[in-house]
Amino acid sequence: MTILVTGGLGYIGSHTVVELLNNNFDVVIVDDLSNSEKFILKNIEEVAGKKPVFYPFDLKRKELLSQVFDAHQIDGCINFAAYKAVGESQEKPLDYYENNLFTLINILQEFKKRNISNFIFSSSCTVYGQADEQPIHESTPLKTPESSYGKTKQMGEEILKDFATAYQKKVTLLRYFNPIGSHPSALLGELPLGIPNNLVPYVTQTASKIREKLSIWGNDYPTEDGTAIRDYIYVVDLAKAHVKALQKLLNETSETVIDIYNLGTGKGSSVLEVVGAFERANHVEVPYQICARRAGDITIAFANADKAERELGWKAETTLEEALRTTWEWQKYLESRS
Ligand code: UDP
């Protein structure tokens, strides 16, 4: 089986490519390197002991995409290629809609034209907004996301549902909670691009003294320690869920499938708990200051991921501390390269 992985050199994409190769799938990566680097390809090969095919281009270039489908018998796609910076999406909404949705439609047009099924979409818990219930189930009503990024995820889901229904296709929407950590080999992880917005990259850079202090955005939330709560899921666990979801789709006998799964640990952790776990796991200090709340942040979001366990036989296995230990190893690796 040959799987097209768009954004396969990115953070979650690269970990998933390794898991696919480990499970004997052939992988064709398309990635424009806008948020990755070529050495990740070499590192994937080193970790998996196998070589994925790689095409460096922007998926908006339809003719190049079509050539990939001409050259390979594609059996399915996992679509990671997308812009993902929440703040930036507010400043450049058109770029986000264009990049995240045009590229998705271009791939789906090829699927339709060539009668290919099996599409897995990287969605996000951001589609739930500030949910009225916790934990969040797949059936929890969606709300309009705060950011244009979040809206591209919600719109992407709608496009895929219509695609599956109209053309009898098999589609899985995976709603990630907060992915963290790096590969145990320390050869794959999230590449730093400017000042990190996300908590764990900022904590990591503060521990390594690239940043002076972590700003904790608010300690007046209605939670036990006053800081906001999220569900931090280890990236390798997350990558493994994609393989399970793909195997389920490939084994489906119905023509039309629309599956939706939350991928999280089922456990919420506060910002202060993450800082404490990082310090304990790595025996380092993370200086911080308490600041005002960040605009658009919600108080709490954590998953009920029972459906993924029931239907995919998947469950998050790695502890927060263990995940944060891998992050620190990756940071040391990055520093050894520079
Ligand atoms: N956060 C923080 N300081 C930072 C970055 C994040 O206190 O420098 C908090 C943020 O307010 C949120 C949590 O950490 O409560 C997770 O934020 P992140 O941006 O990683 O993910 P998301 O907001 O998408 O859940």
Our answer on whether the CB atom of 216 is closer than 6 Å to any ligand 1 atom is: yes
Pocket test for ligand 1, best of 271, 278, 288, 320 (most atoms within 8 A of CB): 271
Our answer on whether the CB atom of 262 is closer than 6 Å to any ligand 1 atom is: no
In the residue annotation, 149 being an active-site residue is answered as: yes
Tell me the CB-side half-sphere exposure of residue 237, using CA atoms within 13 A.
27
d(CA 242, CA 247): 9
The whole-number pLDDT of residue 116 equals: 98
User: pTM of the full predicted structure?
Assistant: 0.98
| Domain presence at residue 248 | yes
**Contact 126/133 with Cβ under 8 angstroms?**
no
Look at ligand 1, atom 2, and give the residue with the nearest C-alpha. Answer: 216
d(CA 108, CA 126): 23
| Domain presence at residue 328 | no
The whole-number pLDDT of residue 194 equals: 87
**If we measure between CA atoms, which residue out of 133, 220, 247, 229 comes closest to residue 177?**
229
| Domain presence at residue 139 | yes
CATH number at residue 57: 3.40.50.720
| Domain presence at residue 28 | yes
d(CA 199, CA 221): 17
CA 254 to chain centre: 27
| Domain presence at residue 93 | yes
Burial, 331: exposed, middle or buried (Cβ in 10 Å; 0-12, 13-18, 19+)?
buried
Our answer on whether the CB atom of 304 is closer than 6 Å to any ligand 1 atom is: no
From the list 128, 149, 176, 261, the catalytic residue is 149
d(CA 81, CA 180): 18
Angle (CA) 296 300 304, round 5°: 130
Number of domains composing the chain: 1
Our answer on whether the CB atom of 324 is closer than 6 Å to any ligand 1 atom is: no
d(CA 155, CA 85): 17
User: Residue 132 sits in which domain range?
Assistant: 2-179+233-264
The whole-number pLDDT of residue 295 equals: 85
Blockwise average pLDDT, block size 10, the chain, 338 residues:
98 98 98 96 98 97 98 98 92 97 98 98 95 96 93 98 98 98 98 91 97 98 98 98 98 97 98 98 98 92 98 98 98 94
The whole-number pLDDT of residue 37 equals: 96
| Domain presence at residue 21 | yes
| Domain presence at residue 279 | no
Our answer on whether the CB atom of 215 is closer than 6 Å to any ligand 1 atom is: yes
In angstroms, what is the span from residue 73 Cα to ligand 1's centroid? 41
| Domain presence at residue 216 | no
